[in-house]
Chains A and B, each alone.
Chain A
Amino acid sequence: MALKTKTSTRIGVTILAWGIALWLFFPIFWMILTSFKSDVQAISSPPKLVFMPTLSSYAEVFERASYWHFALNTMIVSVGATAIAIALAVPAAYSMAFMPSKRTRSTLLWMLSTRMLPPVGVLVPIYLLARNTHLLDTCTGLAIVDMLTNLPIIVWMLYTFFREVPAPILEAGRMDGATRWQEMTMVLLPLALPGIASTALLSLILCWNEAFWSLNLTSSNAAPLTAFIASFSSPEGLFFGKLSAASTLAVAPILIFGWISQKQLVRGLTFGAVK
Chain B
Amino acid sequence: MATVELKNLRKTYLTEEIIKGISLSIEEREFVVFVGPSGCGKSTLLRMIAGLEDITSGDLLIDGQRVNDVEPGKRGLAMVFQSYALYPHMDVYKNMEFGLKLAGMPEAERRAKIEHVARTLQLEPYLHHKPGQLSGGQRQRVAIGRAIVRNPKVFLFDEPLSNLDAALRGQMRVELSALHRKLGATTIYVTHDQVEAMTMADKIVVLQKGVVEQIGSPLELYHHPRNLFVARFIGSPPMNFFSAIFQGGDAAGSSVQLRDGSTLHVPVTSPGLLPGTKVTVGIRPEHVELASSGPNSGVVEVIERLGAITLVHVRMPDGEIIVVQTDGAVLTDVETRVSLTLPPRNCHLFAPDGLAFEACHRHPLAA
Residues of A near any B CB (own CB < 8 A): 102, 166, 168-169, 171-179, 182, 186-187, 190-191
Q: Are B50 and A177 in contact (CB under 8 A)?
A: no
Given A177-B74, A177-B102, A172–B85 Cβ distance below 8 Å? yes
Q: Which residues of B contact A168 (CB under 8 A)?
A: 81-83, 85
Chain B residues numbered 169-183 whose CB sits less than 8 Å from any CB in chain A: none
Q: Are B85 and A166 in contact (CB under 8 A)?
A: yes
Q: Which of B71, B78, B87, B99 has the most CB of A within 10 A?
A: B87
Alpha-carbon distance between A221 and B146 when the two chains are bound, in angstroms:
57
Alpha-carbon distance between A186 and B79 when the two chains are bound, in angstroms:
19
Q: Is B291 an interface residue (CB 8 A)?
A: no
One of A173, A174, A179, A182 near B87 (C-beta < 8 A): A173
Alpha-carbon distance between A179 and B99 when the two chains are bound, in angstroms:
11
Q: Which residues of B contact A177 (CB under 8 A)?
A: 73-74, 99, 102-103
Alpha-carbon distance between A56 and B6 when the two chains are bound, in angstroms:
84
Alpha-carbon distance between A175 and B72 when the two chains are bound, in angstroms:
5
Alpha-carbon distance between A92 and B88 when the two chains are bound, in angstroms:
23
Q: Which residues of A contact B72 (CB under 8 A)?
A: 171, 174-175
Q: Which residues of A contact B86 (CB under 8 A)?
A: 169, 172
Chain B nearest CB: distance from A75 CB in Å?
Answer: 31
Alpha-carbon distance between A191 and B74 when the two chains are bound, in angstroms:
25
Chain A nearest CB: distance from B37 CB in Å?
Answer: 22
25 contacts between A and B (CB under 8 A): A166-B83, A168-B85, A169-B85, A169-B86, A169-B88, A171-B52, A172-B87, A173-B87, A174-B52, A174-B71, A174-B73, A175-B50, A175-B73, A175-B77, A175-B99, A176-B73, A176-B150, A177-B73, A177-B74, A178-B73, A178-B98, A182-B102, A187-B87, A190-B89, A191-B88
Alpha-carbon distance between A173 and B99 when the two chains are bound, in angstroms:
8
Q: Which residues of B contact A172 (CB under 8 A)?
A: 79, 81, 85-87, 146
Residue of A nearest to B150 (CB): A176
Chain B nearest CB: distance from A175 CB in Å?
Answer: 5
User: Interface size for chain B: under 10, 10 to 19, 20 to 34, or 35 or more residues?
Assistant: 20 to 34
Alpha-carbon distance between A186 and B102 when the two chains are bound, in angstroms:
11
Chain B interface main SS type:
loop
Alpha-carbon distance between A171 and B87 when the two chains are bound, in angstroms:
11
A-B contact count (CB 8 A): 59
Additional 20 contacts, C-beta under 8 A, given A169-B87, A174-B52: A102-B14, A168-B82, A168-B83, A169-B88, A171-B72, A171-B85, A172-B85, A172-B146, A175-B72, A175-B78, A176-B98, A176-B102, A176-B146, A177-B73, A177-B74, A179-B73, A186-B98, A187-B87, A190-B89, A191-B89
Alpha-carbon distance between A174 and B103 when the two chains are bound, in angstroms:
12
Alpha-carbon distance between A168 and B86 when the two chains are bound, in angstroms:
9
Q: Which residues of A contact B78 (CB under 8 A)?
A: 175
Chain B residues numbered 1-52 whose CB sits less than 8 Å from any CB in chain A: 14, 50-52
One digit per residue, 1 when the CB lies within 8 angstroms of any chain A CB and 0 when it does not, for chain B 79-123 equals 101110111110000000011001100000000000000000000
Chain A nearest CB: distance from B265 CB in Å?
Answer: 54
Q: Which residues of A contact B99 (CB under 8 A)?
A: 175-177
Q: Which residues of B contact A187 (CB under 8 A)?
A: 87
Q: Which residues of A contact B71 (CB under 8 A)?
A: 174, 179
Chain B nearest CB: distance from A29 CB in Å?
Answer: 42
Residue of B nearest to A165 (CB): B88
Residue of A nearest to B103 (CB): A177
Residue of A nearest to B78 (CB): A175
Q: Which residues of A contact B74 (CB under 8 A)?
A: 177
Alpha-carbon distance between A166 and B99 when the two chains are bound, in angstroms:
19
Q: Which residues of B contact A176 (CB under 8 A)?
A: 73, 98-99, 102, 146, 150
Alpha-carbon distance between A182 and B71 when the two chains are bound, in angstroms:
14
Given A190-B89, A191-B88, A191-B89, A178–B102 Cβ distance below 8 Å? yes
Q: Which residues of B contact A174 (CB under 8 A)?
A: 51-52, 71-73
Chain B nearest CB: distance from A158 CB in Å?
Answer: 18
Chain B residues numbered 53-87 whose CB sits less than 8 Å from any CB in chain A: 71-74, 77-79, 81-83, 85-87
Chain A nearest CB: distance from B325 CB in Å?
Answer: 39
Q: Are A171 and B81 in contact (CB under 8 A)?
A: yes
Alpha-carbon distance between A182 and B99 when the two chains are bound, in angstroms:
11
One digit per residue, 1 when the CB lies within 8 angstroms of any chain A CB and 0 when it does not, for chain B 121-163 equals 0000000000000000000000000100010000000000000
Alpha-carbon distance between A190 and B87 when the two chains are bound, in angstroms:
10
Residue of A nearest to B83 (CB): A168
Q: Which residues of B contact A191 (CB under 8 A)?
A: 88-89
Q: Which residues of B contact A102 (CB under 8 A)?
A: 14
Q: Which residues of A contact B103 (CB under 8 A)?
A: 177
Chain A nearest CB: distance from B148 CB in Å?
Answer: 13
Chain B nearest CB: distance from A177 CB in Å?
Answer: 3
Q: Which residues of B contact A186 (CB under 8 A)?
A: 98
The 4 closest A-B CB pairs, nearest first, are: A177-B73, A176-B99, A168-B85, A172-B85
Chain A nearest CB: distance from B118 CB in Å?
Answer: 17
Alpha-carbon distance between A180 and B89 when the two chains are bound, in angstroms:
18
Chain A nearest CB: distance from B16 CB in Å?
Answer: 14
Alpha-carbon distance between A166 and B87 when the two chains are bound, in angstroms:
10
Q: Which residues of B contact A171 (CB under 8 A)?
A: 52, 72, 79, 81, 85
Alpha-carbon distance between A190 and B89 when the two chains are bound, in angstroms:
7
Q: Which residues of A contact B14 (CB under 8 A)?
A: 102
Alpha-carbon distance between A100 and B69 when the two chains are bound, in angstroms:
20
Chain A nearest CB: distance from B134 CB in Å?
Answer: 15
Q: Which residues of A contact B87 (CB under 8 A)?
A: 169, 172-173, 187
Residue of A nearest to B156 (CB): A175
Chain A nearest CB: distance from B168 CB in Å?
Answer: 21
Alpha-carbon distance between A102 and B14 when the two chains are bound, in angstroms:
9
Residue of B nearest to A180 (CB): B71
Q: Which residues of B contact A179 (CB under 8 A)?
A: 71, 73
